Chain A
């Protein structure tokens, strides 16, 4: 499903955040990208989710070579991913339901269908009762669950998260872990960048360990 070969990302100025990374992630796997701060986890997540373009090497996702992708094709590829960010990137000028409906608007779903699916996604993460709440009124854990609902509402084949528990206490972090595990159980490929080792102990996922931009395990 995700095949990287000699993947390199060099930023202007010459800094190489990812160097010659080669790995393979199969469909339905749960993979943790781990490593110390500055190891290249976030950059690798951004490369997989097409937010960044590789400098060299190849990255094939769902049979598509992302390295050779044209600019106009990128938005359509991104719709196959569910993205969860450490800072959630929620919109505070709309309520929880409307935040979750955004990917469905982008996909052009009729409003009634979009509401139905957004409510189902909120239900999955336990936030249906707060659908009218503004995200600013939600706790950190609830905001992250809302971000997950938005990421999965479009039924993505790959769920990608960057430090989703980084700003949460351990209890809220565990709840988020459980949600990711639930999606993994129903066949969604889950790729999570984190330095939180409790994931490994709890779910025994495949681990992709990075050090100084290189894949070391």
Chain B
């Protein structure tokens, strides 16, 4: 095995030993890091689920297409053909006769409808686009409005825009929260490493005198910071999963009361290791800053 690998393995083993040597301190640090990462991570998962809820809510992303009154069967066929080509969208045709029948059946409308000289309602299409992003919906609305014999296109864009704005605000708040807690994690690691450097100043001084490189001295601290951060990230991932598991039942019951079958989406396969890796990176960053400042006195 090369000297480089041996030194890395020794540094990793030293980092594990340091974590193990003070179990209470380690546990407290991991709790602080874990909770600091849990809050933004849970916020991320919650926003993701809200986005999914918004996408799946029926009726709110529909585009209603009203033909002009003089549109013929051929014109309707043309629109059907164009809708068929629109990728992924689902749609249904509502003939003007059906619309009138439905209107007639509404309470108090029968007499009014009977008094009308002719059917005032147009043929219509209800379109459910596959892409429900506000920008995509608006683009589709504009495209449909340009088709022949289309008198009016209605999109409930206000609701979608409001929901999208809420999600964007939530995302921004989440980033700010993540930034704050990330800085907290870096600070926790910074302080832990600073204390370790102080405690090991004799060893560092001797090692320097007998030929230790900067890398040799810094490496165990980097491993310690990254390891502590990674374990904190893993703890955060487990806390998020546990919280989702606890909330799954009540959320399902609530959705059922509203006639839906929404269930919380757990974090993806890549997101759990991602959180662990983020913790490791922030821990390494804290260690890097701390070691750089603390080792200056040995120069």
Which residues of A are at the interface with B, using a C-beta cutoff of 8 A?
49, 51, 72, 75-79, 81, 83, 89-91, 93, 102-103, 105-111, 150-151, 154
Which residues of B are at the interface with A, using a C-beta cutoff of 8 A?
1-4, 6-7, 10, 202-203, 205-214, 216
A83 engages B210 (CB within 8 Å)? yes
- A108 to B2 Cα, complex, angstroms: 8
From DSSP, what is the main secondary structure of chain B's interface residues? helix
Q: Which of B1, B4, B216 contacts A106 (CB 8 A)?
A: B216
Residues of A within 8 A of B10 (CB): 105, 111
Decide: A78 near B210, CB < 8 A? Known: A89-B205, A105-B10.
yes
Closest partner residue, chain A, to B202 (CB atom): A91
Q: Which of B6, B211, B213 contacts A110 (CB 8 A)?
A: B6
Total number of A-B contacts with CB less than 8 angstroms?
Answer: 60
Closest partner residue, chain A, to B10 (CB atom): A105
B207 engages A102 (CB within 8 Å)? yes
Residues of A within 8 A of B202 (CB): 89, 91
A108 engages B210 (CB within 8 Å)? no
A110 engages B210 (CB within 8 Å)? no
Decide: A79 near B206, CB < 8 A? Known: A108-B3, A108-B6, A109-B6.
no
A83 engages B6 (CB within 8 Å)? no
Closest partner residue, chain B, to A110 (CB atom): B6
Q: Known A-B contacts: A81-B211, A105-B7. Give 13 more (CB < 8 A).
A: A51-B209, A83-B210, A89-B205, A91-B203, A102-B206, A105-B10, A106-B207, A106-B210, A106-B212, A107-B3, A109-B3, A111-B6, A150-B210
B206 engages A91 (CB within 8 Å)? yes
| 10 interchain pairs, CB-CB under 8 A | A51-B209, A72-B213, A72-B214, A75-B216, A91-B206, A93-B203, A105-B7, A107-B3, A108-B7, A109-B3
Closest partner residue, chain B, to A106 (CB atom): B212
Decide: A75 near B213, CB < 8 A? Known: A89-B206, A91-B203.
yes
